[in-house]
Amino acid sequence: MLKALIKVQLQSMFSRGLLRNRRSSKKPRNPLLSRLMIVLLALYILASLGISLGVTFHNMLTSFQPLNLLWMYFAVAGIAAFLFSVIGSIYLAQASLFSAQDNDLLLSMPIPPAKILVARSVALYLIALSVQAVVLLPALTVYLVFAGFSLPVLIMALIAGLLLPLPTLALSILLGWLLALVSARLRRKNLVVVLLSIAALAAYFVGYSRLIAAMEELMLRGHQIAQAVKGAIPPAYHYGLALAEGKLPSLLLFALFCILPFALVMALVAANYRQVITTRRGAPKIAYKGGGLKASSLMQALLTKEVRRFFSSPMYMLNSGFSLLFMLGLPIYLAVDKNVLSMFQQELGVLTPYLGPAAVGVLSMMAGSVFISAVSISMEGKALWILQSLPVKPIQALLAKAAAHFAISLPFVLAAGIILGVAFRLEAFIFVMCLLLPLLFTVFSAFLGLLLNLRFPKLNWRNETEPVKQSMSPFLAMTLGFLIPITLTGLGAYLTSKGLDLKLYILLCTAAIALASTGMYLLLKAKADKAFLDLSEV
């Protein structure tokens, strides 16, 4: 029974949204080519991440090796992997464990609730494992290449690597459970979930930034900090010791540190799992008193509906609009903390004139990686028939989704550009570009997201995690929206060093993004009718 449940969970994770529909009357034009492109892109992303992490780990290794603190190397890698995986797991646990649409169906079957919990946790475990692998594999590779190949290290790393997702799961399931418990009893449930999540994120990033500062300290005062880690975070110490020195007792202790909290959390949640997922106390009933209806135009109605959809779902909001929080948070932080700004200018020295263009690049990257539209079609789910059966042109429905993406991003993009422009005292041209280019990237990512979501829709979802986090289109939209500005910034740095005028380059980029956005709009317009109806066959 448990095996069958786990199989269903895994099927839902990997089958939909990644592959084209099976029922469709048309065959994909070139499935091999599109799959090859996806694989190549995924490899490119993994390679980029792997190389940048590899460089960091290499620096760390060369610092720790002379101090004979190799255990600390693995301990830091383990802590980084843990933190990296925790961030997304909280929402994932809340949505897939406590808000899944098929909870009632499964509860009606002769399946103990604890088994449903375990089956859903297996899917979470695999996600945490793969996220942690992104950090741990470069760390291990750097170690094996530069400190010398060692079979015991490899074996220990594999065993410990399989255990490390358990504390992530324990923490995320516990927080997800608390979130579900609290939100079931509140009226403004979504608002509370969003505020709690933002508070958790803020705490996380404060902690993370302190960790980075601690890492810098670590390089200077290795032994002292190692002693502190040893005393304060025993699981990290034993994890490091097991890997670096192959100590079996340390591995067993680490296993205990992983398994015990996980088992306790599972026991706690399993005890009232049925109660939590079936609690529907919510708000007291509001009686409709009649009247008060306001007539709007078609496009206004469609746009309002899209914006309401976005703000109705904490999962959708916090994931697809994640960069918007950064976009506003970062400039405010820089504007408020004058020390950081002056430190920036001192450190940059002769490169200070490039601060403005770099700000344009960073804001563009943040605007580009917002993926509201890339999920908007999938979020229609089984209610897609409404838009399809109403007298609405497919292009109107799609443009409303793009407009919602733009309207939601607009205040953040403008505020961020203005705050940065004033704080950095940018010259007029760069100031204008700080507003214009990120706005253009917002349009670009809105259209790109729609095209990707039409190509990779995920409509038969059981919880919102599936279209938002386990789907190809948001992944591609976010990655491309992130990589294109980075690539353009990098190319700009190279070309201007070769004598190209910086302002001319920025104008060329602006024209290129405007042209690409227009191209995508025209493509969308040409394909909308057919593609929108084809969604019925997904």
Partner 1 sequence: MLRIEHLNKSFGNKKAVEDLSIHIRPGEIYGFIGHNGAGKTTCIKACCGILRFDSGEIHIDGINIKSDPIACKQRTAYLPDNPDLYEFLSGIKYLNFIADVFGISKEDREARVKTLAAEFELTSDLAQPIATYSHGMKQKLAVIAALMHEPRLLVMDEPFTGLDPKASFLLKQKMRAICDAGGAVFFSTHVLEVAEKLCDKVAIIRRGKLVVEGTMEAVKGNESLEEVFLELEDHHA
Q: Does 69 bind partner 1 (CB under 8 A)?
A: no
- 287 DSSP assignment: P
274: left (phi over 0), alpha (psi -120 to 50) or beta: alpha
- 378 DSSP assignment: G
Q: Which of 25, 108, 339, 346 binds partner 1 (CB under 8 A)?
A: 25
Q: Does 24 bind partner 1 (CB under 8 A)?
A: yes
**DSSP of 256-270, one letter per residue?**
HHHHHHHHHHHHHHH
Count Cα atoms within 13 angstroms, Cβ side, for 164.
Answer: 33
Q: Which of 3, 280, 281, 498 binds partner 1 (CB under 8 A)?
A: 280
Q: Does 294 bind partner 1 (CB under 8 A)?
A: yes
Q: Which of 285, 347, 428, 498 binds partner 1 (CB under 8 A)?
A: 285
Q: Does 115 bind partner 1 (CB under 8 A)?
A: no
Which region among 148-156, 309-317, 486-494, 508-516 touches partner 1 (by CB under 8 A)?
309-317
Q: Which is nearer to partner 1, 281 or 498 (CB)?
A: 281
- Residues 364-403 contacting partner 1, CB under 8 A: 381-383, 385-386, 388-393
**DSSP of 327-355, one letter per residue?**
HHHHHHHHHH-HHHHHHHHHHHGGGGGGH
Q: Which is nearer to partner 1, 247 or 462 (CB)?
A: 462
Measured distance CA(142)–CA(74) in Å, rounded: 11
What's the min distance (Å) between Cβ of 9 and partner 1?
23
Measured distance CA(384)–CA(535) in Å, rounded: 8
Residue with tokens 């908007």: 376
Residues in a beta bridge with 19: 16
**DSSP of 88-111, one letter per residue?**
HHHHHHIIIIIS-TTHHHHHHSS-
Q: Does 305 bind partner 1 (CB under 8 A)?
A: yes
- Residues 503-532 contacting partner 1, CB under 8 A: 530
Q: Which of 59, 130, 272, 296 binds partner 1 (CB under 8 A)?
A: 296
- 16 DSSP assignment: B
Q: Which of 151, 220, 293, 350 binds partner 1 (CB under 8 A)?
A: 293
What's the min distance (Å) between Cβ of 388 and partner 1?
4
Measured distance CA(520)–CA(522) in Å, rounded: 5
Measured distance CA(505)–CA(36) in Å, rounded: 33
Helix axes 355-368, 394-423, angle to 10 degrees: 150
Q: Which of 300, 342, 345, 518 binds partner 1 (CB under 8 A)?
A: 300
What are 457's two structure tokens? 């829709």
Q: Does 338 bind partner 1 (CB under 8 A)?
A: no
Measured distance CA(151)–CA(146) in Å, rounded: 14
Q: Of 81, 318, 33, 103, which is closest to residue 198 (Cα–Cα)? A: 318
Fill in the amino acid letter for 123: A
Q: Which of 62, 68, 227, 312 binds partner 1 (CB under 8 A)?
A: 312
Question: How many residues of this chain bind partner 1 (CB under 8 A)?
Answer: 43
Q: Does 20 bind partner 1 (CB under 8 A)?
A: no
Q: Which is nearer to partner 1, 63 or 304 (CB)?
A: 304
Provide the greatest CA pair distance for the chain.
Answer: 77
Count the residues in the chain: 538
- 369 DSSP assignment: T
Q: Does 291 bind partner 1 (CB under 8 A)?
A: yes
Q: Which is nearer to partner 1, 385 or 429 (CB)?
A: 385
Q: Which is nearer to partner 1, 29 or 285 (CB)?
A: 285
Q: Which is nearer to partner 1, 23 or 29 (CB)?
A: 23
What's the min distance (Å) between Cβ of 99 and partner 1?
11
Q: Does 188 bind partner 1 (CB under 8 A)?
A: no
What's the min distance (Å) between Cβ of 530 and partner 1?
7
Q: Which is nearer to partner 1, 300 or 345 (CB)?
A: 300
What's the min distance (Å) between Cβ of 4 and partner 1?
25
What's the min distance (Å) between Cβ of 200 and partner 1?
23
Q: Which is nearer to partner 1, 220 or 286 (CB)?
A: 286
Q: Of 404, 353, 517, 384, which is closest to residue 454 (Cα–Cα)? A: 384
Residue 510 CA, chain-centre distance (Å), reads 27
Q: Which of 148, 288, 350, 497 binds partner 1 (CB under 8 A)?
A: 288
Cα R_g (the chain), whole angstroms: 25
Q: Which of 298, 332, 334, 341 binds partner 1 (CB under 8 A)?
A: 298
Which region among 208-216, 290-298, 356-364, 448-456 touches partner 1 (by CB under 8 A)?
290-298
What are 80's two structure tokens? 């980084």
What's the min distance (Å) between Cβ of 23 and partner 1?
5
Fill in the amino acid letter for 66: P
What's the min distance (Å) between Cβ of 90 and partner 1?
22
Contact 478, 374 (CB under 8 A): yes
CA angle, 199 as apex, 328 and 229 as ends, to 5°? Answer: 110
Measured distance CA(287)–CA(308) in Å, rounded: 21
Q: Which is nearer to partner 1, 280 or 498 (CB)?
A: 280
Binding site for partner 1 (CB under 8 A): 22-25, 280, 282, 285-288, 290-291, 293-298, 300-302, 304-305, 308-309, 312-313, 381-383, 385-386, 388-393, 530, 533-534, 536-537
